[in-house]
């Protein structure tokens, strides 16, 4: 083998080695490939038998639809919380920064409240809501609300903690 590598040179020897490795990988991969797509195990003796399902398997696992949001009796719905928060967020003229943040803090989580500590209401890029709040349910305790405004879309992530809905994150998409 050494004499062969000396005659071929180091570059050709490494190239030949890589070609051999690639061929081995391909052979092993093809040997391990079996088409069991339409076969299932028979419970009696464990043999593979053809599937009797008339529906072909598309390979995509079906995910159950998220549960509708859950609200405590007498508590505000996520849509109402999102609408009130958005209204307070847009009320940025003629208020002090502390008053603006206090209004938002009543409907926000501690995490978001901490992020808004240095927020300036004068930087809010919109003035009014222009359409209905739309909710996307992700779980019984997590929804995303999109609020259309005059200059973009305000997206609010809401969490239900203890049956009370609070805004946990704010995102802005300009029009």
Taking the domains of the chain in order of start, what are their residue ranges? Answer: 1-27, 78-174
Please state the rounded mean pLDDT for residues 111-125: 93
pLDDT of 55 above 60:
yes
Task: Give the global pTM.
Answer: 0.62
Residues in CB range of 29: below 8 A, 6 or more apart: none
Under the banding of pLDDT at 50, 70 and 90, the label for residue 114 is very high
Can you give the pLDDT at residue 26?
Answer: 87
**Domain over 78-174 is classified CATH 3.10.450.540:** yes
Please state the rounded mean pLDDT for residues 28-43: 61
Cα–Cα distance measured from residue 87 to residue 103, given in angstroms and rounded to the nearest whole number: 10
Can you give the pLDDT at residue 35?
Answer: 53
**Average pLDDT of the chain to the nearest whole number:** 83
Please state the rounded mean pLDDT for residues 59-80: 74
């Amino acid at each position: 083998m050494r004499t062969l590598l000396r005659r071929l040179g180091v570059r050709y020897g490494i190239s030949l080695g890589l070609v051999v490795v690639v061929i081995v990988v391909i052979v092993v991969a093809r040997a391990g490939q079996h088409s069991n797509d339409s076969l299932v195990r028979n419970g009696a003796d464990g043999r593979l038998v053809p599937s009797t399902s008339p529906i072909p398997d598309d390979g995509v696992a079906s995910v159950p639809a998220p549960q509708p949001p859950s609200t405590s009796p007498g508590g505000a719905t996520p849509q109402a919380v999102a609408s009130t928060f958005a209204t307070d967020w847009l009320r940025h003229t003629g208020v002090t920064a502390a008053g603006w943040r206090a209004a938002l803090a009543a409907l926000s989580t501690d995490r978001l409240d901490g992020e808004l500590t240095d927020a300036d209401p004068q930087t809010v890029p919109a003035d009014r809501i222009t359409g209905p709040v739309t909710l996307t349910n992700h779980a019984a305790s997590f929804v995303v609300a999109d609020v259309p405004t005059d200059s973009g879309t305000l997206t609010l992530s809401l969490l239900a903690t203890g049956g009370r809905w609070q805004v946990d994150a704010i995102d802005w998409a300009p029009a």
